[in-house]
Amino acid sequence: MLHTRTTPARRRRDLREKLASGRLLRVPGAVDPLSARLVQETGFDAVYLSGAGLSASLGLPDIGLTTATELAARVQQLSRATDLPVLVDADTGFGGPLNAARTVALLEDAGAAGLHLEDQENPKRCGHLDGKRVVPREEMTRRIRAAADARRDPDLLLMARTDARAVEGLAAAIDRAKAYVDAGADAVFPEALADEAEFAAFRAAVDVPLLANMTEFGKGPLLDTATLENLGYDIALYPVTLLRLAMGAIEDGLRVLADRGTQESLLPRMQTRSRLYELLGYEEYAAFDSAVSGFTLPPGA
Ligand SMILES: C[C@](O)(C(=O)O)[C@H](CC(=O)O)C(=O)O
Ligand SMILES: [Mg+2]
């Protein structure tokens, strides 16, 4: 109620322990703090803050227009609303190595359990768009080094994302991933792999935890959890799934309302008032309020 009592340090430990278990973690992107609650209730392992989702929610394309402070503010909101570790899309780190270091500090203060930095040029673009460009390998290793050094909590998971597959090919992407691990990355996010064989090749070449981006309508296949487990992947990411679902429902609903002049036929598809109240914890707030208003100092205090 009000906010969770789970500290950022506890969430970072939780994410580390879950990764150490060796099972596949399933991590959907939240649309907002309320949907993050549902992610937790449904039993997922962590919640993701998607850069694409954040920018879309602000009515912006995912081309590097959002700022580090906007991102940190959303991290805080998500962390307050759930007990889950929050994995954050930190894009390029918002500049050079120093900016990446400052971004790490900001996100750590905001309660992030882990974050990924990518090797795209600034300003970045969505990893599934054509025409993206990557920085030289050495520049990205400096970005990672700076980020690793900026961490105050060693449990904060630092993940390196490489966008090189679509630009330089698979072999170069694997070489880059290895260099990023040597520079201090704890885990790797190979972006926009083309097929299952490429997922397998990446797994065979890199020995840190790997994230599989199961984003819809992108360049890669949608592999199910059994397949990803067999491939030896550690995190299945569904970054924009909830936003796409919600926006699909909103668009359909608006059409029905506009056409029919009533939302009556939409009621079975809606979350009910009582379910919303349950999710928000109305009853706990009322109990807290009455406990606080009945509070008096003990005699003599
Ligand atoms: C993972 C991602 O970076 C995100 O911002 O969620 C995006 C997802 C998407 O645009 O579908 C990406 O893959 O670049
Ligand atoms: Mg992104």
Question: In this predicted complex, what is the ipTM?
Answer: 0.99
Exposure b/e, 10-22, CB count within 10 A at least 16 = b: ebbebbbebbeee
Q: Pick the last residue of a domain from 242, 268, 283.
A: 242
Q: Which portions of the chain are predicted below pLDDT 70? A: 1
Query: What pLDDT does residue 295 have?
Result: 84
Q: Which of 45, 118, 155, 198 is catalytic?
A: 118
Looking at residue 300, what is its pLDDT? 84
If one counts the domains in the chain, the total is 2
Residue 276 and residue 193 in one domain: no
Residue spans of beta strands (DSSP E) within the chain:
25-28, 47-49, 86-89, 114-118, 157-162, 187-190, 211-213, 235-238
Nearest CA to ligand 1 atom 12: 127
In a domain, 296, yes or no: no
pLDDT at 136: 98
Tokens 């971004």 sit at which residue?
A: 103
Say yes or no: 140 and 236 in one domain: yes
Residues with CB under 6 A from ligand 1: 29, 50-53, 62, 89, 126-128, 191, 213, 215, 218, 239-240
257 and 180 part of one domain: no
The CATH number of the domain holding residue 101 is 3.20.20.60
Assess if residue 63 is contained within a domain. yes
Same domain, 238 and 258: no
Same structural domain for residues 235 and 195?
Answer: yes
Report the DSSP pairing between strands 235-238 and 187-190.
Answer: unpaired
Q: What percent of the chain has pLDDT over 90?
A: 90
pLDDT digits (tens, 9 = 90+) for 253-298: 999 999 999 999 999 999 999 999 999 999 999 888 888 888 888 8
Cis amide linkage into residue 28, ω under 30° from 0: no
Domain hosting residue 274, numbered range:
248-291
- pLDDT at site 1: 67
300 in a structural domain: no
> For residue 236, what pLDDT is reported?
98
Residue 257 included in any domain: yes
Cβ contacts of 195 within 8 Å, gap of 6 or more? 220, 221
The catalytic position among 191, 198, 238, 244 is 191
Same domain for 287 and 161: no
Same domain? 112 vs 224: yes
pLDDT digits (tens, 9 = 90+) for 58-80: 999 999 999 999 999 999 999 99
Of ligand 1's atoms, which has the minimum distance to the CA of residue 127?
14
Is 108 in the same domain as 159? yes
Q: How far is the CA of 240 from the centre of ligand 1 (A)?
A: 7
Q: Give, in order, the Cα–Cα distances in Å from 190 to each of 21, 164, 216, 233.
A: 21, 8, 16, 11
pLDDT of residue 189: 98
Do residues 96 and 190 both lie within one domain?
Answer: yes
Helix axes 273-280, 33-41, angle to 10 degrees: 90
Residue 258 domain flag: yes
Residues 203 and 286 in one domain: no
**Would you say residue 131 lies in a domain?**
yes
The pLDDT of residue 289: 86
Query: How far is the centre of ligand 1, averaged over its atoms, from the C-alpha of 91 (Å)?
Result: 9
Q: Which of 12, 74, 213, 234 is catalytic?
A: 213
Specify if 1 maps to a domain.
Answer: no
User: What's the token pair of residue 32?
Assistant: 């907002």
State which amino acid sits at residue 103.
T
Together in a domain, 280 and 185 = no
Residues 6+ apart with CB under 8 A from 214: 222, 223, 228, 236, 237, 238, 241
Classify residue 190: in a domain, yes or no: yes
Q: Are residues 19 and 110 in the same domain?
A: yes
